[in-house]
Amino acid sequence: MAADHFQENTQYELIGGYFSPVSDYYQKEGLAPAIHRVKMCELATTELSTWLMVDSWECLQPSYQRTAFVLDHFEYELNTKYGGFAMPDGTKKRIRIKLLAGGDLIESMGKPGIWSGADLHHILGNYGCMIIERTGTDVWEFLLSHDILYEHRHNIHVVKQVIYNDISSTKVRLFVKRNMSIKYLVPDSVMNYIFENNLYRSKFTQKRDYLSYLLD
């Protein structure tokens, strides 16, 4: 959807996108080890996309990295270190980096105590966001009601969903935990990886599977 939006509604040409799995130091409840999250992203992008890739820099850092710092990392690697995008005439053109996220992320930006004002100004002012609408989230209401978001509204691209869905990583993890099917919710390679590595499963589910194995 973001790629379609770039093609139809902006002056930009999309050249690539990165998944950047968060570090284990984020310490979110139920977070699988980074080595697994990186592998699942690699499986998904290899199978489904010609332009999405995985960057493991963030998850390899010795501490949690704020989003503003992660975007600075991409800015350094793509523009400072490599000089930008190589044009056919041999010149280099600066790559514009934007944060791609769901509507729930911009909703969190409007809540006190989650994002620092300095980080929001840095992210939205220097980079900008591509926000994918999500069912039940009124993105425009948050843009109008939050001063910093409204100030940088011209650097925020809201991508309207043509086909609405409310699939989320939280729901996928809960389905696995409750031993429910996640077929068609994630790529088959990712689904198989989750079960082969026993990810997101409750101790009760694991014990029940072991008992079933003994009975078989």
Q: What is the pLDDT of residue 164?
A: 79
Q: What is the pLDDT of residue 151?
A: 94
Look at residue 192 and tell me whether its pLDDT is greater than 50: yes
- Give the pLDDT mean for 179-204: 91
Q: What is the pLDDT of residue 205?
A: 57
Question: Of the ranges 24-33, 69-78, 180-189, which one carries the lowest mean pLDDT score?
Answer: 24-33
Look at residue 70 and tell me whether its pLDDT is greater than 90: yes
Which residue is listed with tokens 């820099």? 57
* Residue with more model confidence, 177 or 113: 177
Cβ neighbourhood burial of 86 (10 Å; 0-12, 13-18, 19+): exposed
> Which residue spans within the chain are E strands per DSSP?
17-19, 52-54, 85-86, 92-93, 99-102, 129-132, 156-159
Q: How far apart are CA 29 and CA 111, in angstroms?
A: 20
Contact 104, 110 (CB under 8 A): no
Q: Read off the pLDDT of residues 115-162 as tens digits, 9 standing for 90 and up.
A: 999 999 999 999 999 998 877 677 888 788 889 989 999 999 888 888
Q: What is the pLDDT of residue 40?
A: 96
Contact 152, 128 (CB under 8 A): yes
Token pair in block for residue 136: 């039940």
Look at residue 210 and tell me whether its pLDDT is greater than 50: no
Architecture in CATH of 2-215: 3-Layer(aba) Sandwich (3.40)
Q: How far apart are CA 60 and CA 132, in angstroms?
A: 27
Q: What is the pLDDT of residue 214?
A: 47
Q: Read off the pLDDT of residues 79-123 as tens digits, 9 standing for 90 and up.
A: 999 999 999 999 999 999 999 988 888 788 877 888 999 999 999
* Residue with more model confidence, 108 or 75: 75
Q: Read off the pLDDT of residues 21-59 as tens digits, 9 standing for 90 and up.
A: 999 999 888 889 999 999 999 999 997 788 999 999 999
